[in-house]
Amino acid sequence: MARLPFIDEHNPLLAALIAKVKGARGGKLLNLYRVLMNSPPIADAWQAFNNAVRFHTGLDEQTRELAILRVAQLTGATYQFQIHAEKYAPQVGITPQQIAALDGSEYSSLFQPAHRALLAYADAMTQTIEVPDAIFERLRVHYTSAQIVDLTVLIGAYNMHARVGRALQLDPED
């Protein structure tokens, strides 16, 4: 159970923000936003930032979802992992076998070399923060400078997601 109350999605004082968030989230007000709306400026900024790092980058959908899933897995962020594994990953062609193979993904033949490089990068950023030169150079082989910035910020953002979700004990969606 979440540590903070969920804001009622019919709250007239937050109607404009709720409509904005629901419009960007497929018509649904996720539990994350229902808690974040306890601070409307944070909820608004979070939605804008999250929308940018997920949907307005040079990363393909599979790259994006694999990075998100790996960060969620490494950080024990059940809320994010469940949503992305059940809903978003299948939509972009990530298989259940690939999801199951994320632990040890750097060596799995289920992933193409570019994805193995990004998963090693996500591991380093999430587990030790410092990224060894060898891992960064593997990434550079497959991604442009702009894509590396996009990927780095995405991984950082989902580390933040994990920490916020876990601290507030957000429940996965029903």
Query: What's the pLDDT tens digit per position in 119-130?
Result: 999 999 999 999
For tokens 């962020």, the residue is 77
User: Residue for token digits 């876990």?
Assistant: 166
Q: What is the pTM of this model?
A: 0.93
Topology annotation, domain 61-167: AhpD-like (1.20.1290)
The domain spans of the chain are: 12-55, 61-167
Q: Are the beta carbons of 115 and 66 closer than 8 angstroms?
A: yes
Residue 136 — φ and ψ, nearest 5°?
A: -65, -40
Confidence of residue 165 (pLDDT cuts 50, 70, 90): very high
For helices 40-55 and 145-167, the axis angle rounded to 10 degrees is 140
Quick: pLDDT tens for 15-47: 999 999 999 888 889 999 999 999 999 999 999
Angle (nearest 5°) at CA 130 between 92 and 77 = 45
Using the structure block, give the residue that is written with the tokens 């916020």: 164
Q: Cβ(6)–Cβ(31) under 8 Å?
A: yes
Please determine, for residue 101, whether its predicted confidence score (pLDDT) is greater than 80: yes
- Cβ atoms of 125 and 117 closer than 8 Å: no
- Strand, coil or helix: 110: coil
**Dist. CA 91–CA 44, nearest whole Å:** 26
